[in-house]
Amino acid sequence: MYIFDTLLNRMRRGCQTMDYPKGPAPALPDRHGGALRLDPASCPADCAACASVCPTMAVSRTPGLPPSLDLGRCLFCGACVEACPGGALTRTNDHRMAVRNRTDLILGKPGETELRLAEALDRKMQSLLGRSLRLRQVSAGGCMGCEADINVLGTIGWDLGRFGIQYVASPRHADGVLITGPVTKGMELALLKTWEAVPEPRIAIALGACAISGGPFAGHPQHNGGAGPVVPIDLYIPGCPPHPLTILDGFLRLLGRLDEQKG
């Protein structure tokens, strides 16, 4: 009887999984704000108001030079946006932030006004991983914020498995590692051994400010300032924590499975 009631209830509710990426992306919550945009031309000369309030020194300003913003260190707290008197820093409400190179997360470089979003893996890697990607998640000293949003992707609303992407328990069953946390000294060897246990060819993804740069713990001697010094990174997904939509967007970009017109 209970089985029939359950099946009937499921039929009444219908499909609960979002249409994205075939349909439009769901809107981000108002308080999230999405990626930040930096317009150096709107920055008052010799103003350092934004840099003075940034808790992770993601915003830097050298006298006489335009400001720069490192989204790899940014916590997206919005303090710099509120402090900026000229409106040079603004929220975009854009979920797309994943990049392939660490330097692409730095805004304010001459001639670049937008993020250089992640490009897909080469054809050989796409043919191997494009239809079935298995990731071993490594929490290397994280606070569980990024880990929580990683888990959200497995719920019925997101259904990460429909893309052939799954988290696995053993690195020997994985195609790559998904790293969160600043990689504490106590987790350095564990991460390295996990990475070495993944069969080649393999990929590594740094997810969240901590895994990219150390986040709020940057400069502390008891961690490695992110995963980059320990393993080679193929994809950087910024945020503190990244929104599930940002994470999914990064995964799909890396696999070359995202239609830009609908993403």
User: pLDDT: is 61 or 13 the higher one?
Assistant: 61
The two beta strands, 59-60 and 165-167, are unpaired
* Residue 258 pLDDT class (50, 70, 90 cuts): confident
* Domain range 123-254, CATH class: alpha beta
Structural contact between residues 138 and 193, judged by C-beta atoms closer than 8 angstroms: no
Give the pLDDT of residue 259: 66
Q: Are 241 and 211 in contact (CB under 8 A)?
A: no
- Residue 73 and residue 141: Cα distance in Å, rounded? 16
Reported as a single tens digit per residue, the pLDDT across 24-36 is 888 898 888 999 9
Mean pLDDT of 73-100: 94
pTM over 0.85: yes
CA nearest 143: which of 247, 55, 223? 223
* Domain residue limits, the chain: 123-254
d(CA 146, CA 149) in angstroms, rounded, equals: 5
Contact between 93 and 33 (Cβ < 8 Å): yes
Share of the chain above pLDDT 70, in %: 97
* Local confidence band at 262 (pLDDT 50, 70, 90 cut-offs): very low
Q: What is the pLDDT of residue 263?
A: 40
- Position 1 confidence tier, pLDDT thresholds 50, 70, 90: low
